[in-house]
């Protein structure tokens, strides 16, 4: 296949893919996810059309080709970073692209030969190809085989172009003449150029299929994550918290260090929603979760049971220590001014504290913690209440006398 046919294929392939993506995105709400890929295909398709239609290029056309091609690869970098779970860093990409495009355009204006705009053009495109491969290879060890393969394939055009430059260099040509005549059919400059176009075609195919597969993988892992994580506050949801709690319930059947559980409920949270709207309510919830997490150890677990109710798991913590932690959290929440659009909101929290007992199920554990929480609410809110100690057999009664009712530990109005 000659170069002209390859150029047409590249242009057509990119534009057809852009059309398919556009049809897929039209009328869907999640179009934002596809817009970078769509822009990448459009720019690259447009870029390949230039040499395909115009044939031998002059300086200005060479510059337009490289700028459009690099813009396409830059959009691809953004799409790959998104797929690999990174931030898009669009400002940096834009700055590098703008400076590079300016240099290419200036070179085109000053050019006495096509080579002048082509040199910075190749460099700019090469820089973005490396950035695309790096975006795909992000977190190499943890990256899937598909992402690693895509990263390697994306470097192929660069290798082909670099190979062409090396082979056309005088020392290599001198070395080849007379010695490796059999290889001249393969290492001729025009042939290398064709290989570079074939490499771009390969990249187009691999990226088109790979992007769709990676997008599907990303969606699937996000759905799996949302089964156990609360989307608003990013802490485990009820299901996720129960999963984290399960091994500690099992461990409680063996003698050893105790594990505490705290249920925290924000006081009169409904009023925040009613006065300021759900958006502000959400902001308050997130700020309070951050504040509470700041008071916990790395080994502790916080989960959202629903609405304004949260649970804390404090491994290797007895009741008195858990009450101290809860009291510290109560004070931190009460002292936290949450800045919303129209107001600074101060909230308080009530908490019920207990430890896991050998005979506990999830139901009995939460029932006890919830009773302590309700006692805190009844006693005026903004309080920490510890659940009553277990009733011990008569022999042990004098060692640890049971409390008749939940014990108020902190009371602050």
Among residues 238 and 316, whose Cβ is nearest to ligand GTP? 238
Q: What are the angstrom distances between the C-alpha of 37 and each of 96, 207, 262, 350? A: 19, 10, 47, 49
Residue 92, number of CB atoms within 10 A of its CB: 10
Under rule CB under 6 A, residue 355 binds ligand GTP: no
Minimum CB–partner distance for residue 379 and ligand GTP (Å): 12
Of the candidates 32, 247, 307, 402, which one interacts with ligand GTP according to CB under 6 A?
307
Among residues 119 and 273, whose Cβ is nearest to ligand GTP? 273
Contacts with ligand GTP in 357-396 (CB under 6 A)? Answer: 377, 381
Among residues 202 and 334, whose Cβ is nearest to ligand GTP? 334
Closest CA to 326 of 305, 345, 347, 349: 349
Under rule CB under 6 A, residue 308 binds ligand GTP: yes
| Residue carrying the six token digits 């390949």 | 48
Name the strand (E) or helix (H) holding 193.
Answer: helix 189-228
Contacts with ligand GTP in 222-281 (CB under 6 A)? Answer: 232, 265-270, 273, 278, 281
- Chain residue at closest Cβ approach to ligand GTP: 281
Number of residues near ligand GTP (by CB under 6 A):
16
Burial per residue of 208-227, b for 16 or more beta-carbon CB atoms within 10 angstroms, e otherwise:
bebbeebbeeeeeeeeeeee
Minimum CB–partner distance for residue 13 and ligand GTP (Å): 46
Among residues 216 and 270, whose Cβ is nearest to ligand GTP? 270
Q: Where are the beta strands (DSSP E) in 283-343?
A: 301-306, 309-314, 337-339
Cα Rg, the chain, nearest whole Å: 32
264, 256 Cβ separation under 8 angstroms: no
CA distance 291 to 329: 8
CA distance 167 to 184: 10
Minimum CB–partner distance for residue 301 and ligand GTP (Å): 20
Among residues 222 and 274, whose Cβ is nearest to ligand GTP? 274
SS3 260: strand
The 44-83 contact track toward ligand GTP, x by CB under 6 A, reads ----------------------------------------
Cα atoms in the Cβ-side hemisphere of radius 13 Å centred on 154: 28
Minimum CB–partner distance for residue 324 and ligand GTP (Å): 23
Minimum CB–partner distance for residue 334 and ligand GTP (Å): 14
Among residues 282 and 321, whose Cβ is nearest to ligand GTP? 282
Among residues 203 and 272, whose Cβ is nearest to ligand GTP? 272
SS3 322: helix
Any alpha helices (H) in 88-188, and if so which ranges?
A: 90-110, 115-136, 145-154, 156-168, 170-176, 184-187
Minimum CB–partner distance for residue 374 and ligand GTP (Å): 9
Minimum CB–partner distance for residue 387 and ligand GTP (Å): 18
Among residues 90 and 374, whose Cβ is nearest to ligand GTP? 374
Contacts with ligand GTP in 88-117 (CB under 6 A)? Answer: none
Among residues 217 and 282, whose Cβ is nearest to ligand GTP? 282
Minimum CB–partner distance for residue 267 and ligand GTP (Å): 4
Q: What are the angstrom distances between the C-alpha of 112 and each of 58, 106, 121, 329? A: 10, 12, 16, 72
By the criterion CB under 6 A, which residues form the site for ligand GTP? 232, 265-270, 273, 278, 281-282, 285, 307-308, 377, 381
């Amino acid at each position: 296949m000659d170069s002209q046919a390859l150029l047409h294929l590249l242009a057509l392939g990119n534009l057809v893919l852009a059309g398919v993506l556009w049809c897929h995105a039209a009328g869907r709400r999640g179009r934002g996810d596809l817009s970078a890929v769509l822009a990448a295909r459009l720019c690259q398709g447009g870029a390949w059309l230039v040499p395909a239609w115009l044939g031998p290029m002059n300086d200005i056309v060479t510059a337009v080709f490289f700028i459009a091609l690099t813009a396409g690869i830059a959009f691809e970098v953004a799409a790959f970073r998104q797929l690999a779970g990174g931030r898009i860093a669009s400002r940096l990409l834009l700055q590098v692209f703008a400076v590079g495009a300016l240099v290419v355009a200036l070179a085109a204006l000053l050019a006495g030969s096509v080579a002048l705009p082509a040199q910075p053009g190749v460099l700019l495109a090469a820089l973005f190809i490396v950035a695309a491969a790096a975006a795909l290879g992000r977190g190499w060890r943890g990256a899937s085989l598909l992402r690693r393969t895509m990263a390697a394939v994306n470097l192929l055009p660069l290798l082909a172009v670099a190979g062409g430059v090396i082979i056309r260099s005088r020392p290599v040509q001198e070395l080849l003449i007379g010695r490796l005549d059999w290889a001249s059919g393969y290492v001729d400059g025009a042939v290398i150029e064709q290989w570079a176009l074939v490499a771009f075609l390969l990249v187009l195919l691999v990226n088109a299929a790979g992007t769709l597969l990676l997008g599907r993988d990303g969606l699937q892992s996000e759905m799996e994550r949302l089964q156990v994580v609360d989307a608003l506050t990013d802490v485990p949801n009820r299901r996720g918290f129960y999963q984290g709690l399960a091994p500690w319930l099992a461990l409680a059947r063996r003698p050893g260090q105790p594990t505490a559980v705290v249920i925290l409920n924000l006081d009169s949270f409904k009023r925040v929603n009613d006065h300021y709207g759900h958006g502000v309510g959400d902001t308050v919830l997130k700020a309070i979760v951050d504040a509470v997490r700041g008071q916990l150890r790395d080994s502790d677990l916080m989960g959202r049971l629903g609405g304004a109710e949260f649970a804390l798991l404090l491994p290797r913590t007895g009741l008195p220590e858990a009450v101290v932690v809860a009291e510290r959290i109560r004070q931190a929440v009460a002292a936290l001014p949450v800045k919303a659009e129209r107001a600074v909101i101060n909230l308080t929290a009530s908490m019920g504290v207990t430890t896991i007992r050998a005979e506990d199920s999830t139901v009995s554990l939460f029932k006890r913690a919830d009773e302590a929480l309700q006692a805190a609410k009844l006693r005026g809110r903004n309080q920490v209440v510890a659940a009553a100690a277990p009733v011990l057999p008569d022999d042990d009664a004098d060692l640890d006398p049971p409390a008749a009712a939940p014990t108020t530990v902190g009371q602050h109005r």
